[in-house]
Chain A
Amino acid sequence: MRVDVDVDLCIGSGQCALTVPEIFDQDDDGVVLLLATTAPPELHDEVRDAASRCPVRAITPTDR
């Protein structure tokens, strides 16, 4: 699964980092940091969950 984030949308709510710390973190300004651009299968559900929790829909998971 590919993971894309739109940093311009991000408001730094940290929902992603809270949900999947393996994939998302936040920089010192609170902006989302992608730790990996591909998520292993065991994290697919969690990444989808993070995408749905992001209050500004800044996270796009793409199955391939």
Chain B
Amino acid sequence: MASDLTPHPVTRPNPFDPPLELGRYRETEPIRRMAYPDGHAGWLITSHELARAMLSDGRFSARSEFKRPPVSRPGADPFYGAPALPGWLVDMDAPEHTRIRQQLAGKFTARRMRDLRPRLDVVIDDLLSTMARKGPPVDLVELFALPVPSIMICEILGVPYEKRAEFQQNSETLFSLRVTADEASAAMDRLYELLRVLSGPGGDRDGLLAMLAEDGTLDREEIAGVGVLLLTAGHESTSSSLALSTFALLSHPDQLAKLTADPGLIDNAVEELMRYLSVFHFGVPRTPLEDVEFGGHLLRAGESITVSLPAANRDPAWFADHPDRLDIERRSTGHMAFGYGIHQCLGQNLVRMELRAALPALFRRFPGLALAVPSDEVPLSSDMSVYGVHRLPVTW
């Protein structure tokens, strides 16, 4: 049966589950035609098996020249269909991608992350003390979920923390689904400008930006681009993951009780939360550079494909035993919340460490933590390319 040409579904049944259509598609047609907002008829992939196969197959390109937004997002238009911005490695294939990634991989190894842990614990502790002083109710995003990753990525890159507000504002504009193309382009220009200055002679000498400048393999514009990319990624997705994970645990008191009773579960709990929440909710784009037989279809050169990470992460063929249920004791290895293939998230071990440290510390300091508003009044950021909550009002 030929599939109807439907757009990417956007309506969620509740804050934690992806659109129900994705699950239906996965069962009946794990690779199916999809209508893109510009009228193009491309593809949507929803099974774990096909998602994994595609993301690790070099015949599918990640270059932005071929990308089309899966949902309408005027602000993103200037960045689709155009060559990658300097340093913007997510929009490149090998070998360009490899050259830049090699400069960065060593800075994000598990060992490097372990060295950062003591500093992270201090940052967390300070923020929790500030929160306690302010007294309930507070917005957890503003006081905790955003500043934790923000302080850490700024320190890693060598961006003075005072620049954060300016940075934050532009980054939000960039990621919003509601801004115009001109507004988004202007925000991107300002971010490059900011990073150009910071990676120049006046910047912090200890950070990653300065090390890249010293090394000389990447040029100034590429370093600025890498900086913009890591800063935006480090902010948006990690703070969403942290806020949404807290919201999910508060909404699943049985799971939270298990975690509190056995703190040793935290590593596994974080993997499960990543899988279950999959904040990159419109998936990742790929395009075949030549005609390719894939999953029983002929995918033509230049066609757009959206690989749905939320759908793959709820696939019962990989995650047996009710993948729609949050179960912090589940074996959730193989989840694709960080993508798969050569573009798999560079900062994933930083994200893991931040969540593993921040969640237990939060619930230790505020054992009575609870939502300060009914859960259906938590403002969800379904309008952003990274899913999460705009605010999380909490009390204790």
Do the two chains belong together in a single complex? yes
What residue in chain A is nearest B335 (Cβ atoms)?
Answer: A53
Which residue of B98, B110, B342 contacts A18 across the interface (Cβ within 8 Å)? B110
The verdict on A61 contacting chain B, using a C-beta distance below 8 Å, is: no
The verdict on A30 contacting chain B, using a C-beta distance below 8 Å, is: yes
Q: A56-B56, A57-B56 are in contact. Are A26 and B111 (CB under 8 A)?
A: yes
The verdict on A1 contacting chain B, using a C-beta distance below 8 Å, is: no
Q: A52-B334, A53-B333, A57-B56 are in contact. Are A26 and B109 (CB under 8 A)?
A: yes
The verdict on B78 contacting chain A, using a C-beta distance below 8 Å, is: no
List B contacts of A53 (CB < 8 A).
333-334
Q: Which residues of A from 1 to 22 have beta carbons under 8 Å from B?
A: 11-14, 17-19
14 contacts between A and B (CB under 8 A): A11-B98, A11-B101, A12-B106, A12-B108, A12-B109, A14-B110, A18-B110, A18-B349, A30-B102, A30-B108, A52-B333, A53-B333, A56-B56, A57-B56
Q: How far is the CA of A2 from the CA of B47 in the complex (A)?
A: 31
Q: A55-B56, A56-B342 are in contact. Are A29 and B334 (CB under 8 A)?
A: no
The verdict on A27 contacting chain B, using a C-beta distance below 8 Å, is: yes
Chain B interface SS verdict (over half)? helix
* A binding-site residues for B, Cβ under 8 Å: 11-14, 17-19, 25-31, 49, 52-53, 55-57
List A contacts of B55 (CB < 8 A).
55
Q: Are B333 and A26 in contact, with the CB atoms below 8 A?
A: no
List B contacts of A57 (CB < 8 A).
56
Which 9 pairs of residues, A with B, have the shortest CB-CB distance? A12-B105, A30-B105, A55-B344, A29-B106, A30-B106, A26-B109, A14-B110, A55-B340, A17-B110
B341-354 interface bits toward A, Cβ cutoff 8 Å, 1 = contact, 0 = none: 11011101100000
What residue in chain B is nearest A50 (Cβ atoms)?
Answer: B333
> Given contacts A29-B102, A53-B333, could you give 18 more A-B pairs where the C-beta distance is less than 8 Å?
A11-B105, A12-B106, A13-B346, A13-B348, A14-B348, A17-B109, A18-B349, A26-B105, A26-B111, A27-B106, A28-B106, A29-B106, A30-B102, A30-B108, A31-B106, A55-B339, A55-B341, A55-B342
List A contacts of B102 (CB < 8 A).
12, 29-30
Q: Which residues of B from 5 to 29 have beta carbons under 8 Å from A?
A: none
* B binding-site residues for A, Cβ under 8 Å: 55-56, 98, 101-102, 104-111, 333-334, 339-342, 344-346, 348-349
Q: How far is the CA of A13 from the CA of B102 in the complex (A)?
A: 11
Closest chain-B Cβ to A53's Cβ sits at a distance in Å of 6
Q: Are A49 and B56 in contact, with the CB atoms below 8 A?
A: no
What residue in chain B is nearest A28 (Cβ atoms)?
Answer: B106
Q: Are B110 and A26 in contact, with the CB atoms below 8 A?
A: yes
List B contacts of A55 (CB < 8 A).
55-56, 339-342, 344
Closest chain-A Cβ to B209's Cβ sits at a distance in Å of 18
Q: Are A29 and B110 in contact, with the CB atoms below 8 A?
A: no
Q: A53-B333, A55-B56 are in contact. Are A11 and B109 (CB under 8 A)?
A: no
What residue in chain A is nearest B97 (Cβ atoms)?
Answer: A11
List A contacts of B340 (CB < 8 A).
55
What residue in chain A is nearest B336 (Cβ atoms)?
Answer: A55
Q: How far is the CA of A7 from the CA of B310 in the complex (A)?
A: 30
List B contacts of A27 (CB < 8 A).
106
List B contacts of A18 (CB < 8 A).
110, 349
